[in-house]
């Protein structure tokens, strides 16, 4: 099955989804190639600020949608539970990865 049959799309069609994934992998490759360049490690603060700006704009978009705002009492609990479960799962997975792959074991 392709993404058109499943209706799994990003921004309208399958091509856009593959463009986004391609851009992500291009960024990974570029980061790998530039990892020893001075100043690259300083990007984390600007990345964090950009993510915060995107989250703020997402909130503005959600707040401006009357359908979401009118159903917030129902959607709010579902969204909270999904966000909480996702965060908890991520924290547990990160802890396991750290424990088994990065923590130095005493001999």
Q: What is the pTM of this model?
A: 0.51
pLDDT digits over 35-53, tens only?
888 888 778 888 899 999 9
pLDDT digits over 81-107, tens only?
999 999 999 999 999 999 988 877 665
The alpha carbon of 68 is separated from its chain's Cα centroid by a whole number of angstroms, namely 21
Flag whether pLDDT at 22 surpasses 50.
yes
Looking at residue 101, its pLDDT comes to: 87
- The label of the residue with tokens 């190639």 reads 33
User: Do residues 6 and 12 touch, judged by C-beta distance below 8 A?
Assistant: no
Flag whether pLDDT at 73 surpasses 90.
no
- Report helix, strand or coil for 7: coil
Half-sphere exposure of 37 (CA within 13 A, CB side): 9
Q: How far apart are CA 102 and CA 43, in angstroms?
A: 23
């Amino acid at each position: 099955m392709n993404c058109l049959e499943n209706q799994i799309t990003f921004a309208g069609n399958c091509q856009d989804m593959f463009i986004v994934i391609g851009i992500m992998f291009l960024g990974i490759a570029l980061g790998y190639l530039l990892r020893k360049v001075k100043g690259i490690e300083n990007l984390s603060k600007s990345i964090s600020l950009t993510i915060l700006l995107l989250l703020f704009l997402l909130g503005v978009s959600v707040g401006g949608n009357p359908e979401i705002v009118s159903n917030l009492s129902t959607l709010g609990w579902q969204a909270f539970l999904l966000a909480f479960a996702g965060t908890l799962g991520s924290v547990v997975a990160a802890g396991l990865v750290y424990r088994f792959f990065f923590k130095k074991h005493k001999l």
